[in-house]
Amino acid sequence: MPPLEVGAMIAPRVSLGSERRAPPATEVRAGVGIIVVDARGRVLLEKRSDCGQWGLPGGRINPGEDIETAARREVKEATGLDVRVTALLGVYSELPEHLATYPGERKPVQLVDVILVANVISGRLHSSDESGELAFFWPHGLPNDIVPPAVSPLRHYVRGERGVIQ
């Protein structure tokens, strides 16, 4: 597989940092990302409506919500699909990819993403307000314009790695 390149456009609603250290008063937020795989072995990506780049379905873990429930909820909301979680790919928090500043918020945020692998079990694919487009890609034919936080997890998935902590 050719190396995944991080696209030049950064989401206008999220500003990603370039530092390898988090600034003082950085908030840490837990989220979940899901590598959704169809019956043919293709990976589902969403083209984000805020930046036009491809990413993984996912989002925040709500208070009191376990990670697997959050993953199933986020996939259903973003894609209309029901999934069965099959594996933990890894936990990702590396900087600068996971350092963001959101509009209207003063504090920077370090995202800690639990990335799971899941299979489609039912549902009808449809996009949400957050995703301009949804498409399945072969693992060795992923697009180059992928949001920075999804690059490493996708690379690890394609290589067959599991249990990554980064």
Over its length of 166 residues, how does the chain's per-residue pLDDT go in tens digits? 333 333 322 333 344 445 568 888 899 999 999 999 999 999 999 998 878 899 999 999 999 999 999 999 999 999 999 999 999 999 999 988 888 887 788 888 899 999 999 999 999 999 887 778 999 999 999 999 999 899 999 999 999 999 999 9
Domain ranges of the chain: 15-165
Beta carbons within 8 Å of 42's beta carbon, 6+ residues apart: 136, 137, 138, 139
- pTM of the model as a whole: 0.84
pLDDT score at 97? 86
CATH class of 15-165: alpha beta
> Looking at residue 98, what is its pLDDT?
87
CB atoms within 10 A of CB 24: 7
pLDDT on residue 41: 98
For residue 63 the two structure tokens come to 């208070």
The β-bridge partners of 35 are 117
Is residue 164 helix, strand or coil? Answer: strand
pLDDT value at residue 19: 54
Measured in degrees and rounded to the nearest 5, phi and psi for residue 8 equal -80, -25
